[in-house]
């Protein structure tokens, strides 16, 4: 504000190059000399200067009138600052003569004060008039700018690539742009006055009411949301919306929607999700097959080999030298370790407890296995978990499995916790440890470049079932992994409409 005021002062202050400034200065000096002729009478030239005498008029009244006219001239030519400066100088000149020289003090004082009062009023009026003129020009410019902005907004609104419409509190559309025609199939003339319920799918109405209630409560809707739209020809589209509340005089008046058709984009995403799930399913089937073959074939043969070595050693023990008996003992121990390892690998590939008892017992079994293998104390805390889709159950188990394996191999932790929490709509699994931690990359792709393929795989698995993975860590601060997935498996966009179509057929 100080900078702006100084700039304003510089603009209003009189400039030395202004001819009015020099005219006023010369006239003021000449008039002041005339006003003090008694004092200056002993000077050879100045003592003969007398403006009233030159004009052949009465003396001091005319001079005070001339001071007044000079003040008015300064206020008009030099603005408020110039007028105030000259008013102050004139006041000093007239009052100085009044108090020092004038024989009739009362008349001189009254005339001087009257001149100063009229001058001050006139200068103030001129300054006010000029200020009003400036405000008027600013107002006119603001109106022109506002009109230009309005035309630009209308053009931008009408030609926007995204569909934009406004509807009142009852859902009646009052304004729509050209992109709405392409999105809905209705011309603007038909859209205006139409209720949004006429082209919003029934299953999307609860979400619409929820968004409306949140906005009316004053909550921000920063994120876009999706819903289905029924076009004029009966076909369906998936639109991504952002909504804001229009308020006037503190009262909600309408809702403005910005919509984009993402049907094709969602179809591509659904196809990608479908193929990724197929890959995941094929991967798990292969794990099942390998686990079954390890259990039914390799482990049984290894067990027979162990028993064979044991029987052979028992029959010929008294005929063998001590060195050969020790070798047979080492072979027996090695075959037993191999058998145990094969059993552990088969269980890790596809534990039957996950299929038989569910997610929570499988996590507890997994924590016990890692504890026995590494000595890390692992605490499992769980809520009551509702029945989950096999894909969700499998994804969560694999993420916990990978996380605990990472803790065992890399973290140097002594304690870890697995916490499973469930709400109506989502399930959260948090794995924490007190290990060495690491610096978090800024992007998911940086995990791969750093060789952290396990974290990348966990994040991708969570995305397959509509969830996400959050990682928090730091050097010497341990690590926290939090995976959040919906309790219901995401259904591709076209599935419901296709199912309804099949049912009607």
Rounded to whole angstroms, the Cα distance separating 94 from 402 reads: 98
Domain range 357-505, its CATH number among 2.130.10.10, 3.30.565.10, 3.40.50.300, 3.40.640.10: 3.30.565.10
**Long-range contacts of residues 492-498, Cβ cutoff 8 Å, at least 24 apart:** 492/270, 492/273, 492/274, 493/238, 493/263, 493/266, 493/267, 493/270, 494/267, 494/270, 496/203, 497/236
- Please tell me the total number of residues recorded for the chain in this structure: 505
Confidence of residue 6 (pLDDT cuts 50, 70, 90): very low
Residues 41, 53: contact at Cβ < 8 Å? no
Residues 240, 260: contact at Cβ < 8 Å? yes
pLDDT for 7 equals 44
Rounded to whole angstroms, the Cα distance separating 498 from 252 reads: 39
Question: pLDDT exceeding 90 applies to what percent of the chain?
Answer: 10
**Is pLDDT of 497 > 80?**
no
Chain segment 139-162, per-residue pLDDT in tens: 999 999 888 888 887 787 778 888
* Owner of token pair 């304004």: 175
Chain segment 199-228, per-residue pLDDT in tens: 877 777 777 778 888 888 887 776 788 888
**Is pLDDT of 311 > 80?**
no
**Is pLDDT of 13 > 70?**
no
Q: What is the CATH number of domain 161-261?
A: 3.30.450.20
Q: Which of 303, 391, 299, 284 is nearest to 345 (CA)?
A: 299
Rounded to whole angstroms, the Cα distance separating 333 from 310 reads: 10
Residue 347: Cβ-neighbour burial (10 angstroms; 0-12, 13-18, 19+): middle
**Is pLDDT of 417 > 90?**
yes
The angle subtended at Cα 175 by Cα 173 and Cα 177, nearest 5°, is 120
Identify which has the larger pLDDT, 497 or 99: 99
Q: Which range is least confidently modeled, 104-118, 372-386, 465-479? A: 104-118
Under 8 Å CB-to-CB from 276, ≥6 apart: which residues?
Answer: 464
Identify which has the larger pLDDT, 359 or 444: 359
pLDDT for 496 equals 40
Q: Where are the domains of the chain?
A: 2-152, 161-261, 267-350, 357-505
Sign of the four-CA dihedral 342, 347, 349, 352: positive
Give the DSSP letter of residue 407.
Answer: I
For the residues 298-320, what does the mean pLDDT come to?
73
pLDDT for 317 equals 64
pLDDT for 24 equals 65
pLDDT for 433 equals 94
User: Can you tell me whether residue 294 is helix, strand or coil?
Assistant: helix
Q: Which range is least confidently modeled, 44-48, 70-74, 315-319, 360-364? A: 44-48
Rounded to whole angstroms, the Cα distance separating 490 from 497 reads: 15
For the residues 118-133, what does the mean pLDDT come to?
84
For the residues 291-306, what does the mean pLDDT come to?
72
Residues 24, 77: contact at Cβ < 8 Å? yes
Chain segment 24-74, per-residue pLDDT in tens: 676 667 666 655 555 555 555 444 444 444 444 445 667 777 777 888 788
């Amino acid at each position: 504000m100080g900078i702006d005021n100084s700039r304003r002062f510089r603009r209003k202050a009189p400039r030395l190059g202004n001819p009015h400034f020099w005219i006023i200065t010369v006239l003021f000096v000449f008039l002041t000399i005339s006003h003090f002729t008694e004092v200056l009478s002993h000077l050879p030239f100045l003592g003969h200067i007398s403006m009233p005498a030159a004009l052949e008029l009465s003396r001091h009244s005319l001079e005070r009138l001339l001071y007044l006219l000079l003040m008015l001239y300064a206020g008009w030519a030099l603005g408020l600052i110039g007028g105030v400066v000259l008013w102050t100088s004139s006041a000093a000149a007239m009052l100085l003569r009044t108090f020092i020289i004038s024989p009739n003090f009362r008349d001189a004082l009254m005339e001087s004060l009257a001149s100063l009062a009229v001058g001050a009023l006139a200068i103030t009026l001129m300054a006010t008039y000029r200020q009003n003129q400036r405000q008027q020009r600013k107002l006119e410019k603001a109106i022109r700018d506002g009109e230009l902005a309005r035309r630009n907004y209308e053009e931008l609104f009408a030609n926007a690539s995204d569909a934009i419409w406004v509807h009142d509190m009852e859902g009646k559309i009052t304004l729509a742009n050209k992109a709405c025609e392409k999105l809905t199939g209705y011309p603007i003339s038909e859209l205006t006055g139409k209720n949004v319920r006429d082209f919003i799918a029934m299953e999307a109405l609860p979400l619409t009411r929820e968004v409306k209630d949140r906005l009316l409560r004053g909550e921000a809707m920063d994120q876009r949301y999706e819903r289905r739209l029924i076009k004029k020809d009966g076909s369906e589209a998936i639109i991504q919306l952002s909504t804001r509340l229009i308020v006037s005089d503190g009262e909600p008046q309408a809702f403005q929607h910005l919509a984009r058709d993402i049907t094709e984009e969602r179809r591509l995403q659904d196809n990608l999700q479908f193929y990724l799930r197929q890959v995941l399913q094929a991967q798990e089937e292969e794990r099942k097959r390998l686990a079954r073959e390890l259990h039914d074939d390799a482990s049984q043969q290894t067990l027979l080999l162990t028993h064979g070595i044991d029987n052979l050693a028992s029959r010929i023990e008294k005929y063998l030298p001590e060195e050969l008996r020790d070798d047979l003992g080492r072979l027996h121990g090695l075959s037993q370790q191999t058998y145990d390892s094969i059993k552990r690998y088969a269980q890790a590939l596809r534990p039957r407890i996950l299929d038989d008892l569910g997610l929570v017992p499988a996590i507890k079994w997994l924590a016990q296995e890692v504890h026995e293998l590494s000595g890390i104390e692992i605490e499992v805390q769980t809520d009551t978990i509702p029945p989950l889709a096999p894909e969700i159950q499998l994804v969560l188990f694999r993420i916990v499995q990978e996380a605990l394996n990472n803790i065992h191999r890399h973290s140097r932790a002594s304690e870890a916790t697995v916490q499973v929490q469930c709400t109506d709509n989502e399930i959260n699994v948090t794995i924490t440890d007190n290990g060495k931690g690491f610096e978090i990359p800024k992007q998911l792709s940086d995990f791969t470049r750093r060789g952290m393929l396990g974290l990348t795989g966990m994040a991708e698995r969570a995305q397959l079932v509509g969830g996400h993975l959050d990682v928090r860590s730091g050097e010497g601060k341990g690590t926290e992994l939090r995976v959040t997935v919906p309790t219901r498996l995401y259904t591709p966009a076209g599935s419901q409409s296709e199912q309804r179509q099949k049912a009607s057929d």
